[in-house]
Chains A and B, each alone.
Chain A
Amino acid sequence: KKSGGRSRSRGCVLKEIHLNVTDLDLGYHTKEELIFRYCSGSCNAPETTYDLILKNLTKNKKLGKERVKPQACCRPTAFDDNLSFLDDSLVYHTLTKHSAKKCGCV
């Protein structure tokens, strides 16, 4: 198994991609572009005792058929600044909480 105590934080990382605003598929009609940052990577190792207990209970089938997620998810813990742009009809729009700034297993 690769992930040790250290590489845990390396699993869930911030990545970025250069996109057109139209690629976001939010319905905006514009030629503007942006850098979209997102969180990617695994959160295999338990972060807390809760995660460990949940993992053990699922493994031992103590929770029956209930659907619980024993693993943490790699998600943004902070967001980028707002992004404003002008659309083709000369109307301004502002996107908030649209791009990640920090990531974490939560």
Chain B
Amino acid sequence: PTATFALYFPQKKYSENVFVGQPAGTPILQLHVMLDNESETAHFCLRQLTEYPKIKLFHLDERTGLLSLNRTLDWSDFAPPSNSWTGPVKKLPLLARASQKPFRDKSCHGQTVHGQDVSIYINFYNTTAPSCSQQMPKQLCFPEHDSSPHIKENRLPGVFRQLRRLPPHYLCPNLTITYSIETEESSPFVFNESSSEVAVSRPLDREEREVYELLVQCTVRTELMLTRLSQPLLVNVYDEDDSAPFLNGTDTVEVVVEFNRKEGAVLGKMLVYDKDTTPIYPKDQSHNKYVGTMMTNDPWIKETFKIEHIFKEEKFGNQVRGTVHEYSLILNKTLSMEEKRSLQLDYLVNDTEFHGPEGTVMLHFNITVLPVYISFTNVSFLFTVDRKAAPYTQIGTVCVDNCKKFQGIEVTYKLNIDRNASLLVKTCYAAVAIEQSREDSSAILYVNRTDSLRNKDCQDLQYIVVAQERQNKQTQAKTQLTITLVGTATGKRNLEKDCPLSCAERRQRAECETCSGLGSPTGRCQWRQGNSKWISTNYSTCSPSLKTCPDGHCDVIEVKDKAICPQDCTTQRIIGGHEQGLMSGIKAGYGTCYCYSENCFCEKSDIEEVMCDDVCKTVIATA
């Protein structure tokens, strides 16, 4: 079961050298074509691809494929016309074409057909040929640039390569040059010693073996000595689409759409195997091309799902390349939360170039779309806040059930209080605010007003958290949130009078830990001591809370004021040894990194923090 047959050249190019003085009739090259039926005969024709030389120097026998010299080469044949030929060696490109029918006058000049044309490069030497005794055995035996032959699978056997170099064989009758090849047992290759031609003896199968390595041995015998040389010959087997697609296991996959309902979500994957290769170049070819069809007329299914197809080549069990096609079921649009149904989607995969029966495979996707509800199952949130906390202190995260898994579902959160509450209570409740996370469907609570927090009349804060889906306002859930105020608020001590708004301005541990800055939950900045000798992500710095800053991520609270955590949020150029963060901030720094407003600096601290190491501890202990 194969595509259209055509004869082909089992080699991509041929080349040989010619010299001044070589006589008319000298054989240069033997061309071979592989036929596809025994009654067929091959015809050859030759084209010269350049204007120069104007005379026809070569003759290609139409029936045998033997290329030979038309006339004796003399010096004038190499006389350069103006400046187009300079130097000792010139390459003359020729093109040979093969056909099942005899060539008429012009048919040799038609458009190139892949596989039925072959390039021949003749290297002209502007000298006479070296004498037979001067030539090295290697030159006598093997061509300078060997082109590996290829055999198409499932085709007729036949002769595909002449091992002999024809000019020395013809011009040096005193030399005996013989060849032999070494093959494995049950090799499909045979060698004819009298003609020095290699043939393939039976049709090959690429799915069985892709490459054969033959060892060619050449013996050169002169009156004085005998030389033996060997060189490998790699024979590649070319593929055609002779294998049907198959599945490894089940043809059905169960798919559940629940929390990830976003457009582009990958719901399920199925693999289809094919023992054939799938070349990706040239792009317009159809070899082993797969076409897929969604077997449905339901417009909802058609607009909601799509199948994406990618493929790659892999070595299957016997170390021969095959193709793995991957079909992914993708959500084509974001589904609403209420959507609920189940359906089966069938997808027909067709290997269009495979001409036998069963060139298709049917894939089944059993899809269940479940609705999603917003809820707080048995959750009431309980957080504590220090009365000394600075503005923008992060208190905690609120999250509906499964909110980390939500994709394509937008949840908004609100804090509600009793409408009939007194003004004082309302003022107290203004202490805390909520902000939507950008990454998932959760929200972060933070300190909004510190005067309410410090007010002794304000006690524990009770809120109702209301979570709501943005698209569908009816779907909502409520739960209780209690924030306990702990500790005692103190007025700013004298010590803190000179404290800046931002912890990040502090360059030393002592001055860092005695100050408060935006975002610090205890009313004290925290010091991080790095210990790397080079640029490191663990650089020394002063931060409001080491839990959130610097963590390499500028979150929704930090972005509200650049003074909270410029280490994560700066967009200005950083001065000193550093590595910049992907979107913003300092990824890694040298020594201590500190920032004035948005401008950050990283440098080795002048005053090294006195670290008490093991030796120091021992000294103290013994003292």
Q: Tell me the A residues contacting B by CB distance below 8 Å.
A: 25-29, 91, 93, 96
Contact = CB atoms under 8 A, between A and B. Distances in A.
A26 B534 CA distance: 8
A29 B534 CA distance: 7
B371 interface: no
Contacts of A25: 604
Interface in B574-591: 576-577, 579, 589-591
A35 B534 CA distance: 22
B573 A27 contact: no
Contact of B604 (A27, A28, A29, A91): A27
Most buried by A among B533, B535, B589: B535
22 contacts: A25-B604, A26-B576, A26-B577, A26-B590, A27-B533, A27-B534, A27-B576, A27-B577, A27-B589, A27-B590, A27-B591, A27-B602, A27-B604, A28-B534, A28-B535, A28-B577, A28-B590, A29-B534, A29-B535, A91-B579, A93-B579, A96-B573
Contacts of B602: 27
A25 B590 CA distance: 9
A26 B576 CA distance: 6
Interface string B576-617: 110100000000011100000000001010000000000000
A32 to B, nearest CB: 14
Main secondary structure of the interface of B (DSSP, over half): loop
Contacts of A27: 533-535, 576-577, 589-591, 602, 604
Contacts of B604: 25, 27
Contacts of A91: 579
A93 B573 CA distance: 13
B531 to A, nearest CB: 13
B608 to A, nearest CB: 14
Interface in B539-580: 573, 576-577, 579
Contacts of B535: 26-29
Contacts of B577: 26-28
Interface string B509-540: 00000000000000000000000011100000
A21 B219 CA distance: 62
Most buried by B among A25, A27, A28, A91: A27
Query: A-B pairs with the 3 shortest C-beta distances?
Result: A27-B590, A26-B577, A27-B577
B396 to A, nearest CB: 36
B552 to A, nearest CB: 16
A25 B602 CA distance: 11
Nearest to B533: A27
A29 B590 CA distance: 11
Most buried by B among A26, A28, A91, A96: A26
Most buried by A among B576, B577, B589: B577
A98 B577 CA distance: 11
Nearest to B573: A96
A82 to B, nearest CB: 11
A80 B442 CA distance: 48
A11 to B, nearest CB: 28
B91 to A, nearest CB: 42
Most buried by A among B533, B534, B591: B534
Contacts of A28: 534-535, 577, 590
Interface in B229-286: none
Contacts of A96: 573
